């Protein structure tokens, strides 16, 4: 049996970005396969009754410090995006398009870098198009493809699936039925696939 980690993530979530930076190392050390599952966290919150940490002012202050501490530990850049909250749906739908077309890795790297390193406003169609082009992909094609009902429905269904399987926020990891929440649980995720 191949070992797999299903990674439910959102581009809007700094902890998802942090997990994204660490998962390749886990895959390399354990031989596990990462199954990338884009989801719409705001939708997941609505489905499960959860709220963002930033809704509690003290928690928001701490959460921003906390992700920077982990970024420093991991040795990765992280700059809080001044345009957040922004409409992340086009970028998430684009991830599904890229998965179908085999360009996910380049797409995902470009979007995460734009969001959490460059501080780009991905809700601006021109900025979004520029980021896609920077990944060597066809922005006009993506602009068209993300408008399809099938893509919209898939993101909705995948978010519903996450809720149905017990998720309540991003990032969430599944190793079979075993669920872990948060980039700060990657050590448990790695242990789960290492021992399987």
Q: Which residues are annotated as catalytic?
A: 13
Tell me which of 55, 80, 157, 194 binds a copy of itself, using CB under 8 A.
55
Q: Does 181 bind a copy of itself (CB under 8 A)?
A: yes
* Residue 5: how many other CB atoms lie within 10 Å: 24
Place of tokens 């909705």: 156
Binds a copy of itself (CB under 8 A): choice among 68, 101, 185, 196: 185
Please tell me whether residue 163 binds a copy of itself under the rule CB under 8 A: yes
| Cα three-residue angle 96-51-5, rounded to 5 degrees | 40
Tell which phi-psi region holds residue 136, choosing left (phi > 0), alpha (psi between -120 and 50) or beta.
Answer: left
Which residue of 35, 61, 80, 194 would you call a contact of a copy of itself, by CB under 8 A? 61
**Residue 102 near a copy of itself by CB under 8 A:** no
CB of 117 to a copy of itself, least distance (A): 23
Beginning with the edge strand found earlier in the chain, give each strand of the sheet holding 178-181 in spatial order: 33-38, 4-9, 172-175, 178-181
Return the closest-CA partner of residue 4 out of 161, 174, 169, 163: 174
Site residues (vs a copy of itself, CB under 8 A): 48-50, 55-59, 61-62, 65-66, 69, 163, 166-169, 179, 181, 184-185, 188
């Amino acid at each position: 049996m191949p070992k797999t980690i299903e990674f439910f993530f959102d581009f809007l979530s700094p902890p998802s970005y942090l997990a994204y930076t660490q998962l390749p190392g886990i895959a390399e050390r354990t031989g596990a396969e990462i199954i990338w599952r884009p989801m719409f966290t705001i939708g997941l919150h609505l489905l499960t009754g959860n709220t963002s940490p930033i809704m509690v002012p003290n928690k928001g202050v701490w959460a921003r410090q906390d992700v920077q501490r982990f970024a420093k530990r991991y040795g990765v850049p992280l700059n809080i995006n001044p345009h957040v909250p922004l409409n992340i749906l086009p970028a998430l739908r684009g991830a599904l398009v890229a998965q179908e077309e085999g360009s996910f890795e380049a797409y995902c790297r470009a979007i995460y870098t734009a969001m959490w390193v460059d501080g780009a406003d991905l809700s601006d169609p021109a900025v979004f198009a520029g980021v896609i082009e920077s990944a060597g992909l066809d922005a006009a094609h993506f602009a068209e493809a993300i408008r399809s009902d099938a893509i919209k429905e898939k993101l909705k269904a995948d978010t519903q699936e996450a809720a149905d399987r017990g998720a309540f926020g991003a990032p969430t990891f599944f190793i079979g039925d075993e669920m872990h929440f948060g980039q700060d649980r990657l050590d448990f995720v790695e242990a789960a696939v290492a021992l399987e």
